[in-house]
Structure 1
Amino acid sequence: MRSSPRPADDPVMRRLVTLLEEQLPNSAHQARIHLLAQLSLLEQDAVATGVDPGTLRSIRAVQLFVRTSDPLTGASLR
């Protein structure tokens, strides 16, 4: 029986980590827009390739965090 790949072995998870470590625009709002666009593309790719459900949950959790942390969009959960 084959076990699920560890996060370090999962190419989509590696891309997610790389995305979060990259240099972002100086504007926090622009950085959030950039991150959300990249995360959306990553999510689409993950769904298309049938990625591990845990990896998909991680991508969506980061998307939610980025969306709710932007006061300019009015998406704050406070």
Structure 2
Amino acid sequence: RQTGNGATLAPFAGETDIFITPGFEFRVVERLLTNFHLPRSTLMMLVSAFAGHDRVMALYHHAVESRYRFFSYGDAMLLDTD
């Protein structure tokens, strides 16, 4: 398999020390399905790195104003890199 930029993907088993924060360059993933995460969590960093911090904060603001439910019984979001 190849990524969108032509890089070859290969199976891998093991651990990694990657910590994804804003500025990380996603080369394979184009969409992310996730739920709403706690502020200041590592999952929030991942989502912000993927979709952009300002965009994610706008989504959270909309969710709070619209009274979406968070956490175990919460709503989900599908994020795209566009």
TM-score normalised to structure 1 length: 0.28
Structure with bigger helix share is 1
Structure with bigger strand share is 2
